[in-house]
A and B are shown apart, each in its own frame.
Chain A
Amino acid sequence: MSVAAIGADAHGGVDQLYVETRELRLQGFLLFLVSDCVLFSSFIFAYLYLRNSGQGWPPPGIQRLDVAFAAWNSVVLFGSGATMHYALENFKHGKFIKYMWFLLATIVLGAGFLGGQAFEYNHLIFGEHVTWWGSGIFGASFFTLTGMHGLHVFFGVCYLTVLVLQSAAGVYTRGKYFGITAGTLYWHFVDVIWVVLFSIFYLL
């Protein structure tokens, strides 16, 4: 099936009010993502500043982060970005069942990433080199940034769950699905933030 026009209603017309309102919401949502990006950037600045304030990195007595596990866990999150992309594509083309499956896959992968992060936290906090939030600048920057990102993933998972319920209830139609677009934007944003965090914490 082909892509329906935005704002198309059941009678073949176009709901002009919806088209314009959607335009406003889209722009507002993108600006929200920009300001959220600034929030992350500020903390990333803080991390890089502390990292370069002397004494080497990681600070004495702290174990290096395990890159193998993080790479695997990142791939889980990046995979969820790909499935979310195809969820939206399928919805646009009217393939509702496929959309639902991709959406569920996204939720599972997102939750899987959170589980992996919990596993890693568990290891860092209760492993042989105890590192926690307040124990030094390493813990401060690492747990604040990844924790903030984890919270974003968690909110994203909740949002997508709501999307599943709403879609099942038939809230979104062929021409009116801004909630799904916004969800996809948000989920991609969370993924892309993780690309940066993964690079600066595990690869740098």
Chain B
Amino acid sequence: MAVAALHSGGIADHIHPEPQGFVRRYVFSLDHKIIGIQYLITGFVFFMLSGLLAEAIRTQLLNPSGGFVAPGTYNEVYSVHGSAMVWLVVIPLLTGGFGNLVFPVQIGARDVAFPWLNMLSFWIFPVAGLMLFSSFLMGAPTAGWMEYPPISLQGAAGTSMWCAAIFLVGVSSTITGINFVVTILKMRAPGMTFTRMPLFVWGQFATAPLLMIATTALAAALAALFIERQFGVPFFDPTKGGSPVMWQHMFWFYSHPAVYIMILPAFGIISEVLPTFARKPIFGYKLIAFSSMAIALAGFMVWAHHMFTSGLAPFLQLPFMIITYLIGVPTGIKIFSWTATLWGGKIHYTTAMLFAIGFVGLFTLGGITGIFLAAIPFDLHVHGTYFIVAHLHYVLIGGSLMGIFAGMYYWFPKMSGRLLNETLGKIHFWLFFIGFNGTFLPMHWLGVMGMPREVATYDPQFTFWNRFESVSSYLMTFAILIFFVNVLWSIRYGKRAGANPWGARTLEWQVPSPPHYYNFKHVPTVYGLPYDFSQPLPYSGLEEELTDSPPPVAAGAH
């Protein structure tokens, strides 16, 4: 299967000459690890920007009558906040960022399949991000991150800019998806069979086809919205025979798989962190791996559960409800496997582990409200209320973002050679955990009581909990500031990490921190799963990795 097994002057033996100069090394780099770090930096910059927008939202909601920004501006703020968090932060951080940074090393490859496309795909992303934020200059979109017509058809010029920006991010995601699928299928080290791949690789392997297929469907929807806005071509305008519900179909056919794009890599991160710090083999390796694939597949069959209030025929609603329930099964399998991994383990409460355990708890909460929302009668009651906001933030912050932080604390030593400060990290975790729950837990009952989302003012009876949420959100922001301080401080002054500070067993920890641009001096041979902590490492050919010897093949440019 793996071509690299042949070992006769093929890709596995092919080392490019070392890149020279600052630009080729750090700016237009072809090295997947540098590109991963570029994604992380860019993603976190956009994270700060859209986090500021989130704080603007919470500050507006301190008072029932608002008053911080004008209602129209409020609409722009939450629309750009949602779009940026989904497309510029969570997806690029988890796929482009951690995916690029870690998984090629984990499968024993020297680089991804198409380094040039990888670089292209990265450089599209900041351009698209700047386009999205620049839409404020011409009147940002006002219809939320879903941009439902007809409101998006009437929106200011920035809505077209939004379409173009998201289209570009989509192109970048599609390229990344193609690149990752080919890399995982074709570039694995000898002996790295599918059932020996680390679970983070499985997470990426389940995500990449979604990136490739679902994102293209979104591109079609965005192109249709764009040409309708710019050239008056009727797709969605009901007065010209179009159908606004069609946008909802086209959009959610992408955006439901997109929620799995945002969570499956985080599942992968958690599946790496938990066994490492519980010092125990992961429970149910194959079940976790295959349930990722099951979730990815079923993710394409449930999009209309976002549309129960759109007048969908009842006989169509029922199957969507049932399949949505079915997705709870593989997700539950994962949760139970992680819990069983912790059971009886020798748990090290590092910051990465705290975030991973926090992930398991908070994601379960978000997942359970997801099961609530899949029930048609309940969904009809809370659709468009803060209950939805609570649910999506529990899976996106409690799930994806906690996964991102766990990954940062876990892999920061690998990318920089220094550990993040654990004391600051624990302060970060606890403040973030308390602030997060304080912000989003009350939204559940506010939503059930009927507080509508995406409105700049609210009924005065909700004042207490809204103020409580806003104050908690400031706490959360403060915690994230501590994280950024921690990163900036630790890059300069952090404790030296060495190759393997956590005693982890996947391949990336067997090479120096940071790894050489060619990853491995000799491509290793793999004999088993990386999670059996009582056994010797299942790799051979890694003897020289931590010595100063040069790689055997240093030439061979083409």
Chain A residue contacts of B558, Cβ below 8 A: 17
Interface 0/1 of B165-182, CB less than 8 Å to A: 000000000100111011
B234 and A137 within 8 A (CB): yes
Q: CB of A39 within 8 A of chain B? A: yes
Chain B residue contacts of A20, Cβ below 8 A: 3-4, 6, 10-11, 186
B240 and A35 within 8 A (CB): no
B224 and A46 within 8 A (CB): yes
B231 and A133 within 8 A (CB): yes
Most buried by B among A31, A133, A144: A31
- Identify which of A49-57, A117-125, A163-171 touches chain B: A49-57
* Among A16, A38, A49, contact of B217 (Cβ-Cβ < 8 Å): A38
CB distance from A129 to the nearest CB of B (A): 16
Q: Which of A121-171 contact B (CB under 8 A)?
A: 133-134, 136-137, 139-140, 143-144
Chain B residue contacts of A23, Cβ below 8 A: 3, 186
Q: Is the interface of A mostly helix, strand, loop or mixed?
A: helix
Most buried by B among A16, A49, A133: A16
CB distance from B236 to the nearest CB of A (A): 9
B212 and A31 within 8 A (CB): yes
B114 and A39 within 8 A (CB): no
Chain B residue contacts of A17, Cβ below 8 A: 9-11, 14, 558
Which range holds the interface residue count of chain A?
Answer: 35 or more
With A and B bound together, what is the CA distance between A17 and B240 in angstroms?
A: 56
Chain A residue contacts of B249, Cβ below 8 A: 45, 49
Q: CB of A86 within 8 A of chain B? A: no
Interface 0/1 of B117-134, CB less than 8 Å to A: 100000000000000000
Chain A residue contacts of B231, Cβ below 8 A: 133-134
A42 and B114 within 8 A (CB): no
Total A-B contacts with CB atoms under 8 angstroms apart: 116
Count of chain B residues near A, Cβ 8 A: 45
Chain B residue contacts of A134, Cβ below 8 A: 231-234
Q: Which of B201-234 contact A (CB under 8 A)?
A: 212-213, 215-217, 219-221, 224, 227-228, 231-234
Q: Give the nearest-CB partner of B221 in chain A.
A: A42
Q: Give the nearest-CB partner of A59 in chain B.
A: B241
Q: CB of A195 within 8 A of chain B? A: no
Chain B residue contacts of A36, Cβ below 8 A: 216
Q: CB of A181 within 8 A of chain B? A: no
Q: Give the nearest-CB partner of A134 in chain B.
A: B232
* Among A15, A46, A143, A144, contact of B246 (Cβ-Cβ < 8 Å): A46
Q: Give the nearest-CB partner of B8 in chain A.
A: A16
Q: Is the interface of B mostly helix, strand, loop or mixed?
A: helix
Q: CB of B421 within 8 A of chain A? A: no
A24 and B212 within 8 A (CB): no
With A and B bound together, what is the CA distance between A20 and B5 in angstroms?
A: 11
With A and B bound together, what is the CA distance between A143 and B235 in angstroms?
A: 12
Q: CB of A28 within 8 A of chain B? A: yes
With A and B bound together, what is the CA distance between A34 and B113 in angstroms?
A: 18
CB distance from B533 to the nearest CB of A (A): 34
Chain A residue contacts of B504, Cβ below 8 A: none
Q: CB of B350 within 8 A of chain A? A: no
B220 and A39 within 8 A (CB): yes
B6 and A16 within 8 A (CB): yes
B178 and A32 within 8 A (CB): yes
Q: Give the nearest-CB partner of A133 in chain B.
A: B233
With A and B bound together, what is the CA distance between A143 and B228 in angstroms?
A: 13
Q: Give the nearest-CB partner of B7 in chain A.
A: A16
Q: CB of A43 within 8 A of chain B? A: yes
Chain B residue contacts of A140, Cβ below 8 A: 228, 233-235, 242
25 A–B contacts from the bound complex (CB under 8 Å): A19-B10, A20-B10, A21-B11, A24-B11, A24-B113, A24-B186, A27-B113, A28-B113, A28-B182, A31-B181, A35-B174, A35-B213, A35-B215, A35-B216, A39-B220, A42-B217, A42-B253, A46-B235, A50-B241, A50-B243, A133-B227, A134-B231, A136-B234, A136-B240, A137-B240
Smallest CB-CB A-B distances: 9 pairs: A42-B220, A38-B216, A137-B241, A134-B232, A35-B216, A20-B10, A16-B9, A16-B10, A31-B178
The interface of chain B, by Cβ under 8 A from chain A, is: 3-4, 6, 8-11, 14, 113-114, 117, 174, 177-179, 181-182, 185-187, 212-213, 215-217, 219-221, 224, 227-228, 231-235, 240-243, 246, 249-250, 253, 558
